[in-house]
Amino acid sequence: MKKTTIKDIAKAAGVSIATVSYILNDVKTQSISDETRVKVLKIAQQLHYVTNRSARSLKLQKTGLIGILLFRDLAPQPWSDLKYVKTLYTLERLCGELGYHIIFMQVDGDSPSYDMIRERNLDGVFLLNADQERFATVSRYFGFGIPVFVIDSWIEDPIFHKILPDYAGSFKRAGTLLGAAPEYLVMQPCNDAELANRIALLSGLDESCIHRYEDRAGLDEFLNRFTDRKGLVINEFLANEVVRTRGDRDSIAVLCTSHSPDILPDHVVKLSYELNDYKPVVDTMDGNIQDADYSSHNKFIYLSVTS
Amino acid sequence: MKKTTIKDIAKAAGVSIATVSYILNDVKTQSISDETRVKVLKIAQQLHYVTNRSARSLKLQKTGLIGILLFRDLAPQPWSDLKYVKTLYTLERLCGELGYHIIFMQVDGDSPSYDMIRERNLDGVFLLNADQERFATVSRYFGFGIPVFVIDSWIEDPIFHKILPDYAGSFKRAGTLLGAAPEYLVMQPCNDAELANRIALLSGLDESCIHRYEDRAGLDEFLNRFTDRKGLVINEFLANEVVRTRGDRDSIAVLCTSHSPDILPDHVVKLSYELNDYKPVVDTMDGNIQDADYSSHNKFIYLSVTS
DNA sequence: TTGTATGCGTTATCAA
DNA sequence: TTGATAACGCATACAA
């Protein structure tokens, strides 16, 4: 059973394929008699017609495909896989609402190939957790020619949109909630070293008070220096490790960068980020796709912090 | 800057587009002089040519796209989003190794539209967490005509492959590890009621000893009836709730159906499932795609349990 | 109000 | 060993 095409509908309805196309696409510049319109629509439905996106893409030079490229952690933790689920799912949902379909790909190894992006003629791309090195190697030699939104990285290139949690606001808020400025910071080893630097800088803490997690032993050793002190942990899954090894002894505030505050015990001070903030992000990308000259107000979008 | 096509290469190399196509696709039935071959290959590289998959798909009637459709939990828990990450990522990786790209979509609402599958001409589909109702409404009226693999559901239709954790083996093993047969079972409300029934049946436990999680209060009440008894929990995220509300008091064995045993404390008895088992699954789908008559040995694939 | 014809970039058949 | 050329299914400029 071959798939129904416009041609089949045209034949069945006794009209031309152009007419069918006009009707199916609801082309405003054409005036179609109500009679033929309902007839064609009915037949299309009877034959279970769906448009062939390969053909349409070929013609329109637009695929309606958006890529989400997830860069695997260079230094994997047990919870590495969990970190970007919420973001991924939210982006999928929002893009879906706008009629796009998502191609999901993990980027692994040192020199990834971005051929997929061009082979599939993606309309736009989200990069999650990208590091400068792996990304730069390729981005340099071919400007994508499509909107690229970089989430959770600090890629030094003005053509990319950057989306980040509002670290500055978070640090301030954390101090308020803790009742005093935190004295230490535990964070993950970021894929993107530059981002890690900026976070450290923003925290205003001395390097000796900042711990990049590697394993439990190291974490525990670090925390022992700060018993009964107030501290800050970036990422709730990492915070879970802290809570697990330390119990309730320390009073910490957690920046829930993975949008999953639920996984933490109730007593912990949590700072969350608005998943809703991805809506304007996706809208901006859509604008860029619809109209290449779309002026996006801001290349930096910060996810706002809530408690 | 328009994208390079075969035509461009042909022109630059002074040969026909047919020749270029032969060379790029390494067509065995054609004999090409080494001279032109290297010339064309070189030019292709210089021009950064990549094949246009829309065009190729249109011609070949194969897209190289595999869909992963994730059915959202009908009764969402805080950790609902986390449950299928590992599976999703593993499938992506395995399909990627075979040259496929993944379209990821969440299925929400009561009467989902599967048009995407046909519009995009997917070569195959994975369904995660599907429930009979939402699925049946549509699957009935159009046989996909492509391999459909159902993960974590018990869809009553012989044309679908089913992939499930080895519950029978798990229950047996859990008994061994606990040193005695478990006296109660805590599980999640499955999307697929039929699957839930079968699991309950396999456990051999009376309905009064089986709890379907709804909220902490209900869970706690249930567990109070089994203090100091040995029990079974299906899913590690749910188990985390159990551990959190109960502490170390109970000795439970956990079936880590989300492939994330790491998130549980060390002292808990854990049963894991082989992520490697998805490899033969993906291979089977690939076989079905390459050759529609591919005989798949088994429509049931059970993920083997380890400790 | 409707139809004809062209091209999007490939692959593959047939001819040279 | 190579080259014309016809599809694949759709959208649209231009005719009628």
Kindly report, residue by residue over B63-72, the tens digit of the pLDDT.
999 999 999 9
Q: What is the mean pLDDT of chain B?
A: 93
| Token reading at B119 | 């519009």
Judge: A48–B142 Cβ closer than 8 Å, yes or no. Answer: yes
Name chain B contacts of A68, Cβ cutoff 8 Å. Answer: 104
For residue A267, CA distances in Å to A128, A248, B157 come to 30, 9, 48
Measured CA to CA, the distance from residue A289 to residue A144 in angstroms comes to 13
- Of A161, A183, A163, A164, the closest CA to residue A174 belongs to A183
Distance A6 CA to D5 C1' (A): 24
For the cut 90, the answer to whether the pLDDT of residue B149 exceeds it is: yes
For residue B173, CA distances in Å to B15, B166, B272 come to 66, 11, 11
Confidence at A63, pLDDT banded by 50, 70, 90? very high
Give me the residue spans of the domains in chain B.
Answer: 6-43, 62-164+276-306, 167-273
Confidence at B112, pLDDT banded by 50, 70, 90? confident
Q: What torsion, rounded to 10 degrees, do the Cα atoms A209, A212, A213, A219 define?
A: -20
Per residue in A128-161, pLDDT (tens digit) is: 999 988 888 767 666 678 999 999 999 888 889 9
Classify residue B26 as left (phi > 0), alpha (psi -120 to 50) or beta: left
Angle at A118 between CA B149 and CA B127, to 5 degrees: 10
Sign, CA dihedral B137-B100-B290-B24, equals positive
Q: Is A89 on the interface with B (CB under 8 A)?
A: yes
Residue-level pLDDT at B161: 93
CATH topology of domain B167-273: Rossmann fold (3.40.50)
* Mean pLDDT, range B214-232, rounded to an integer: 93
Distance A21 CA to C3 C1' (A): 12
Which nucleotide has the least CA–C1' distance to A32?
Answer: C1
Per residue in A205-238, pLDDT (tens digit) is: 999 999 999 999 999 999 999 988 999 999 999 9
Q: Is A116 on the interface with B (CB under 8 A)?
A: yes
Measure the N-to-C terminal CA separation of chain A; round to a whole number of Å: 56
Distance A154 CA to C10 C1' (A): 39
Q: What is the mean pLDDT of chain A?
A: 93
For the cut 80, the answer to whether the pLDDT of residue B237 exceeds it is: yes
Of the candidate CATH numbers 3.90.1150.10, 1.20.120.1200, 3.40.50.2300, 3.40.50.300, the domain formed by A62-164+276-306 belongs to 3.40.50.2300
Name chain B contacts of A145, Cβ cutoff 8 Å. Answer: 1
A18-27, B44-53, B236-245: least confidently modelled range: B236-245
Partnered with residue A306 across adjacent β-strands are A272
Using an 8 Å Cβ cutoff, are A20 and A13 in contact? yes
Confidence at B208, pLDDT banded by 50, 70, 90? very high
Q: Taking every pair of C-alpha atoms in chain A, what is the biggest distance, in angstroms? A: 83
- Nearest protein residue to nucleotide D2, judged by CA and C1' positions: B19
Q: What percent of chain A has pLDDT over 70?
A: 96
- Residues 6 or more apart in contact with residue A270 via CB below 8 angstroms: A236, A253, A254, A256, A261, A264, A307
Using an 8 Å Cβ cutoff, are A5 and A50 in contact? no
For the cut 90, the answer to whether the pLDDT of residue A258 exceeds it is: yes
Assess whether the region A62-164+276-306 and the region A167-273 belong to the same CATH fold: yes
